[in-house]
Amino acid sequence: MSAKPEVESDKPIRIALLGAGTVGSQTARLLVEECDDLARRVGRPLELVGIAVLDPSKVTADWIDRSLLTTDSEGLVTRADIVIELIGGIEPARTLLLKAIESGASVVTANKALLAQHGPELYRAAQDHGVDIYFEAAVGGAIPIVRPLRESLVGDRITSLVGIVNGTTNYILDEMTTKGLQFEEALSDAQAKGFAEADPTADVDGLDAAAKAAIMATLAFHRDVRMDDVPVEGIRSITADDIAAAKAERRVIKLLVVAERTDQGISARVYPALIPDTHPLASVRGSFNAVFVTAEAADDLMLYGRGAGGAPTASAVVGDVVTEARHIAQQGMGPIIPMYARIPMAPLEASRAAFAVRFLIHDKPGVLAAIAQVFSREGISINGVNQDIKPTMHDPGYSGEIQQLRVVTHLCDEVTLRRVVKQVSTFDSVTGQASVLRVFDQDAL
């Protein structure tokens, strides 16, 4: 067996950075300010050889050497050993990363949307060209969740992942819970404080969480899971009444990512759910994130921390850079991402849960019995019923009082439940939009 060729220990490992926004700027800061320590950890110096941006005049961070700024992204990625991609979106990020890989560079990215749609293509390209791809910052900001799924738990069989992976929605729901705000009020507050974008669609409609669900499910179950495989429900429909009802039952509402192995295949979902206030995820407040992992041998693990923000996310990015730089210094490679499992995605019809359904009904005899009859006819068992008058609510054409009827079911399939809700909503004595929330039970996974 021939010996590996010697590499000069003082030869810099060249780093190219794509993007100098919130995370990119903080990544550059860590690379510059911590360069001596990072070199000691790697065994060779790291050299930032260029930062690609659309408009260099908009880069104002004083730690960034302006001579490094360039608009030539394609040229930059071909003269680096490691390319860091922090521009986001699908294109040109995908093309640039493939070009970097084909040029022999390893890549580090925080681009969850790209990985959720084209991750397997990039993983295979990296493997084919003998380079690495790392993406810890794509899920959970500073929380180290990707590496445990990819490496630490690779000798175990993961059965489920349950997590809060979007800080914006967690902040909004937390404000609604602690201050009694309606959704729109809490969203405006989040935007004013910088926790929500001017266009919050990706966050509040669950799309950001769905991308992260696809990435985690791919790693956990060794199967290509795309964002299109992840049914999504956001939090726009959550009201102060939903929050109040949850508190009365000693529960909280959280937007959850739930991925699991079932008898029907792999299921990955994003939805708001009622969870007991004793569950560890119930204590995840504000913009923090957490992921609860269950594996056959390791049992339950929970990873918790800052899920967003420039500095926390940059910490994860630079951690990946150091890991890959060590591989280069030692002439090695990181682990591949195997996707060998031939497990189908579970059909929606296989999804079973307990549900809490809230109807607004006319306060008159026979309404509850008629609704209960529909549930019974469809084979859904009712676990509990609560009613209370809503004096501030009115229905045009009806002079009586409006009641809020809350029906909690035993485990049932979602398709049947949705059909029941649709039937009940057609009743003349039912008004407004029904609210449907899952009642999360970890033991049911």
Sequence ranges of the binding site for NADP(+)? 18-25
Q: Could you list the residues known to form a binding site for NADPH, using ranges.
A: 112
CB atoms near residue 248 (< 10 Å): 11
Between strands 158-164 and 251-262, the pairing is antiparallel
Q: Could you list the residues known to form a binding site, using ranges.
A: 18-25, 112, 197
Q: Is 366 left (phi over 0), alpha (psi -120 to 50) or beta?
A: left
Q: Which among 11, 58, 99, 212 is annotated as catalytic?
A: 212
Q: Residue 145 phi/psi, 5° resolution?
A: -110, -35
Burial profile 185-214: b = 16 or more Cβ within 10 angstroms, e = fewer: ebbebbbeeebbeeebebbbbbbbbbbbbb
- 364 among known catalytic residues: no
Residue found under tokens 């307990």 = 354
Specify whether the CB–CB gap between 16 and 79 falls below 8 A.
yes
**Residues known to be catalytic:** 212
